[in-house]
């Protein structure tokens, strides 16, 4: 699907869902190197106030990392692609897998021991192998992660991202988390809006489309989203229109 440019201006009676990396903030060499500007934090706080709390962050990051990036307001959040979720009242739920990831983590660490440019990120419920610093190893990363699946009895699946492949709990994704939020106040009854940039956000776009909301793809690439913004800067500019 070819998304249209320029989504409609944001409104206070909508429900908002945002991916973080590549959507609200630009990518950095490593996840830990990402920085959030005070202007963006202010815009999110303003949107949160305007929308009556109907703003949630949807990320591959754990919720603890989300809170560290946005410490001034504890937003509803879905972390690790929905494997953990905190609703608007602050109640947190967490997927409890039956498989122990420790042996898998050890196998991955051993597989990349001679490739220091790769970054293995342990998120607790998921494992991510980043190749941003060595893009030529994309195929190696994909094959290495795929080789782990047969020993996990279907409890885990792979999630593609920008310069990363993640091993995450099966049956958990941003689309399902969005639908869960939409059954709860203050999201219920509002028009959902999801803004994201990569493959992990496509299920969120699909859920929003099914609900008749606004799905917004950031950047280039095929998508099921109905609208498009060019980059992180364009997202911030779009958010500014709600405060004028």
| Dihedral over Cα of 38, 188, 174, 10: its sign | negative
What pLDDT shows up at residue 243? 61
pLDDT tens digits for 40-66? 999 999 999 999 999 999 999 999 999
Strands 164-169 and 156-161: antiparallel
Distance CA 84, CA 93 (A): 6
Q: If you average pLDDT over residues 14-36, what whole number do you get?
A: 93
- For the entire predicted model, the pTM comes to 0.90
Instruction: Decide if 100 is catalytic.
Output: no
Catalytic residue among 13, 19, 26, 173: 19
What pLDDT shows up at residue 78? 97
What pLDDT shows up at residue 151? 85
In the structure, what pLDDT confidence band is assigned to residue 2 with cuts at 50, 70 and 90? low
pLDDT tens digits for 177-214? 999 999 999 999 999 999 999 999 999 999 999 999 99
User: What domains, with CATH codes, occur in the chain?
Assistant: 4-94+172-243 (3.40.50.1000), 102-169 (3.90.1070)
Distances (CA, A) of 103 to 78, 99, 110, 125: 26, 10, 11, 13
In the beta sheet, which residues pair with residue 194? 17, 215
pLDDT tens digits for 97-142? 777 889 999 999 999 999 999 999 999 899 999 999 999 999 999 9
Give yes or no for residue 20 having a pLDDT over 90. yes
Distance CA 222, CA 119 (A): 27
What pLDDT shows up at residue 226? 96
Phi-psi region of 23 (alpha: psi -120 to 50; beta: other; left: phi over 0): alpha
pLDDT tens digits for 211-229? 999 999 999 999 999 999 9
* DSSP letter for each residue of 141-210: HHHHHHTTGGGGTTSEEEEEETTEEEEEETT--HHHHHHHHTTSTTTTTSEEEEEE-SGGGHHHHHHHHH
């Amino acid at each position: 699907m070819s998304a249209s440019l320029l989504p409609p201006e944001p409104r206070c009676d909508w429900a908002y869902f945002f991916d973080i990396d590549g959507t609200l903030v630009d990518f950095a060499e490593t996840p830990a190197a990402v920085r959030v500007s005070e202007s963006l934090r202010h815009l999110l706080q303003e949107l949160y106030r305007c929308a009556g709390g109907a703003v949630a962050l949807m990320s591959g990051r754990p919720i603890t990392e989300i809170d560290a990036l946005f410490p001034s307001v504890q937003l509803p959040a879905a972390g690790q692609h929905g494997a953990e979720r905190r609703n608007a009242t602050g109640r947190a739920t967490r997927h409890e897998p039956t498989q122990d990831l420790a042996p898998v983590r050890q196998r991955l660490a051993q597989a990349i021991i001679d490739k220091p440019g790769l970054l293995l990120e342990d998120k607790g419920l998921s494992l991510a192998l980043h190749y941003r610093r060595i893009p030529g190893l994309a195929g190696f990363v994909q094959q290495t992660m795929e080789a782990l699946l047969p020993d996990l009895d279907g409890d885990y699946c792979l999630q593609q991202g920008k310069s990363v492949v993640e091993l995450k709990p099966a049956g958990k994704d941003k689309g399902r988390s969005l639908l869960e939020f939409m059954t709860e106040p203050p999201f219920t009854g509002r028009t959902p809006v999801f803004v994201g940039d990569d493959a992990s956000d496509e299920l969120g776009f699909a859920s929003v489309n099914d609900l008749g909301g606004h799905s917004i793809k950031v950047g280039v690439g095929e998508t099921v989203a109905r609208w498009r913004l060019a980059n992180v800067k364009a997202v911030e500019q779009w958010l500014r229109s709600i405060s004028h």
